[in-house]
Amino acid sequence: MRIVIQRVRSASVTSEGRPAGAIGPGLLLYIGVAAGDGETDVKRAADKIPALRIFPDAEGKMNRSLLDVGGEILAVSQFTLLGDCAHGRRPGFSGAEAPDRAEALYLSLVDTWKQRGVPVATGVFRTDMDVSSVNWGPVTFLYETR
């Protein structure tokens, strides 16, 4: 999995013109499922991301996690994160998992967080979405499970 992690003050997503999900302070995640990803990748991401110490403490240092601050997650699927722009002018997507398998793994990740009590909102898989956010910092990381 390739995941863009953005610390946000707020974020929302609409799918095909309809509200789909919104959060207050927390993490906006763009999630790309790579070919060959599996439940091991889901577990790694599920464990790592809420525990990342990327929120400020009382001294303004990044010492607190999403769990520490009671933040929320907005999880948006984005297969284009697996796009390869190295050759030609049109990206190739052979590195992305097949849609049905990718959706199952994306939903498994979301469900894992929800089962652990992390508030999670989502976009809608395989639809045209508009995402709005107020990036806090800005703080943005790229995380890969492999």
* Residues classed as catalytic: 78-80
Cis amide leading into 138 (omega within 30): yes
Structural contact between residues 100 and 106, judged by C-beta atoms closer than 8 angstroms: no
Cα–Cα distances (Å) from 15 to 23, 80, 128, 130, 131, in that order, read 15, 17, 6, 7, 9
Q: Which two tokens stand for residue 137?
A: 């910092």
User: Which has the closest alpha carbon to 101: 118, 131, 79, 116?
Assistant: 79
Q: Determine how many CB atoms are found less than 10 A away from the CB of residue 109.
A: 29
- The pair of three-digit structure tokens given for residue 106, joined into one six-digit string: 């994306």
Contact 131, 76 (CB under 8 A): yes
Tokens at residue 1, please?
């999995």
